[in-house]
Chains A and B, each alone.
Chain A
């Protein structure tokens, strides 16, 4: 499938905000997701946003969606060292692909003390 694009690395200081950006491919995608993968672990769903929303906030997480530009971002407020992980953006594909998820390559977030 076409690529979902993410920057590969981000480094922030503890207590700062982190913003991870993503550009997705399918303007008809109904749901967009953010997953977190800690070292040696599986994928943990962080949050998702429906395509008719511009913003979704969930505690320290804020998701912004710009459908016109097919741009998705994840903001983590007051970033902690435990937030260090790989973050994946994903869009839900259509029935022809079994509604599988099309993932970006992941952004490695490093939080330094």
Chain B
């Protein structure tokens, strides 16, 4: 079984709809991240969370919100979806242990299309 799972894997929605993307991890990591990938732009950070009570905005948080329901779960919501939020969304996790060499582990991604 995958260590980092994302649901749904694909989603089509309409402009103005509220949607939630979910991420779960079994790695026991305390840190979780949401990134967005657009063609030719690489990945950009939306939100990150150091633990359940510590949530922070990334570089492109406008139009998004997050919820860390438990250490293992980190959800991303689009309050009112717009077409330029069409992208591939990745969740990632990382441990705060390991002396800094711990890398991030990525989920398989959620492909979102906003019509």
B103 and A41 contacting across the interface, CB-CB below 8 Å: no
The size class of the interface chain B forms with chain A is 20 to 34
CB–CB B103/A100 < 8 A: no
Contact A43 B103 (CB under 8 A): no
The contact of B107 among A8, A42, A98, by CB within 8 Å, is A42
Give the residues from 14 to 45 in chain B that come closer than 8 angstroms, CB to CB, to chain A. Answer: 31, 33, 35, 40-45
A45 to B101, CA, bound (A): 13
**Distance, CA A103 to CA B33, complexed state (A):** 14
A100 with B90: in contact, given A31-B101, A50-B101 (CB under 8 Å)? Answer: no
Chain A: interface size category: 20 to 34
- Is B80 an interface position by the 8 A CB rule? no
Q: How far is the CA of A48 from the CA of B40 in the complex (A)?
A: 23
By a CB distance below 8 angstroms, the chain A residues around B45 are: 97-98, 100-101
Q: Flag if A42 contacts B90 (CB, 8 Å).
A: yes
Closest-by-CB residue of B relative to A102 is B45
Check B103 against A45 for contact (C-beta < 8 Å): yes
A residues less than 8 Å from B58 (CB atoms): 97-98, 100
Q: List 17 A-B contacts (CB under 8 A).
A: A31-B103, A41-B108, A45-B104, A48-B101, A88-B43, A97-B48, A98-B31, A98-B33, A98-B48, A98-B49, A98-B56, A99-B31, A100-B45, A101-B43, A101-B45, A101-B92, A104-B42
